[in-house]
Amino acid sequence: MSGDTGEMGLRERKKRRMYQAISEAAIGLFLEKGFDNVSVAEVAAAVEISKPTLFRYFPTKEDLVLHRFADHEDEAARVVSGRGDGVTPLAALRAHFLDGLERRDPVTGLNDHPAVLAFHRLLYGTPSLVARAYGYQERSEKRLADALGEGVEAALGAGQIFAVQRVLAMENWRRIAAGESADDVAPDAVAAAELGFRQLEGGLGAIGPS
Give yes or no for residue 3 having a pLDDT over 60: no
Number of domains in the chain: 2
Classify residue 68: in a domain, yes or no: no
Ramachandran area for residue 109 (φ above 0: left; ψ -120 to 50: alpha; else beta) = left
* Residues 111 and 51 grouped into a single domain: no
pLDDT tens digits along 60-104: 999 999 988 877 888 999 999 999 999 999 999 999 999 999 999
* Residues 175 and 89 grouped into a single domain: yes
Q: CATH no. for residue 28?
A: 1.10.10.60
How many Å from the N-terminal Cα to the C-terminal Cα in the chain?
39
pLDDT of residue 10: 83
Q: What angle do CA 35, 69, 80 make, to 5 degrees?
A: 160
Classify residue 26: in a domain, yes or no: yes
Ramachandran area for residue 207 (φ above 0: left; ψ -120 to 50: alpha; else beta) = beta
Classify residue 88: in a domain, yes or no: yes
Q: What angle do CA 58, 61, 65 make, to 5 degrees?
A: 80
* Residues 87 and 157 grouped into a single domain: yes
* Residues 102 and 32 grouped into a single domain: no
Mean pLDDT of the chain: 91
Q: How confident is the model at residue 4 (pLDDT cuts 50, 70, 90)?
A: low
pLDDT of residue 25: 95
* Residue range(s) defining the domain that contains residue 157: 73-203
Average pLDDT rounded to a whole number, residues 23-32: 95
The domain boundary, picked from 60, 91, 106, lies at 60
